[in-house]
Amino acid sequence: MINDQETQRHMVTSYTGAPTRTTAAGGVSFAYRELGPKTGVPVIFLTHLAAVLDNWDPRVVDSIAAKHQVITFDNRGVGASTGSTPDTIAAMANDAVTFIRALGLGQVDLLGFSMGGMIAQVITNSCPAPVTAQFGAGPSVGRHPQRHGPPDGHQAASCPRRPWASPAATGHRDRKHL
């Protein structure tokens, strides 16, 4: 693995060639891979239950990374990331926010698959993370993702509501740039 403090010589364009890196935050060493151009808003991929970095289809990752920076990571306690596996979607959302902040990202788009879509919904609806767009494939939490609660350490009432979180303002939510 490559430590996140080492510099990258060139832009990685293939997921199979992306090195696994680590970054420490919140007492966890998160394993992650990044590829694509380092311009614009990065897309954070959120995995399904028990998935690891190698579960992402390189064809999907590579096609999105052709125009966007893509970052995939192992959840806490899964794959090459350390710590105990969280037992709630809210805790997983909190970990994702911790990871995003550890990378120093100002804004992110989220792409969640199955359970990852649930995590993305919790982050988007109840946490002050800098999410500009959310895309999900198969998140089956119904009409009320907030029932999973805000990420640990956050209170929904204290989280500033972003304008695109309300159905009346869908400008950001409808943005399609992938």
Could you tell me the residue ranges of all domains in the chain? 2-165
CB 1 within 8 A of CB 80: yes
Q: Which residues pair with 22 in a beta bridge?
A: 3, 31
Return the CATH fold of 2-165.
Rossmann fold (3.40.50)
Q: Give me the mean pLDDT over the 117-138 stretch.
A: 74
Determine the pLDDT at residue 137.
66
Determine the pLDDT at residue 125.
84
CB 75 within 8 A of CB 92: yes
Which of 11-15, 21-25, 150-154 shows the highest mean pLDDT? 21-25
Among 5-9, 119-123, 146-150, the minimum mean pLDDT is found in 5-9
3-state secondary structure of 136: strand
Q: Give me the mean pLDDT over the 72-79 stretch.
A: 97
Determine the pLDDT at residue 145.
43
Q: How confident is the model at residue 3 (pLDDT cuts 50, 70, 90)?
A: very low
Q: Give me the mean pLDDT over the 32-50 stretch.
A: 95
Q: Give me the mean pLDDT over the 6-31 stretch.
A: 86
Would the pLDDT of 42 be above 60? yes
Residue 80 token pair? 């090459």
3-state secondary structure of 18: coil
- Tally Cβ neighbours within 10 Å of residue 50: 11
Would the pLDDT of 15 be above 70? yes
Determine the pLDDT at residue 68.
95
Cβ neighbors of 136 (< 8 A, separation 6 or more) are 111, 112, 113, 116, 117, 120, 121
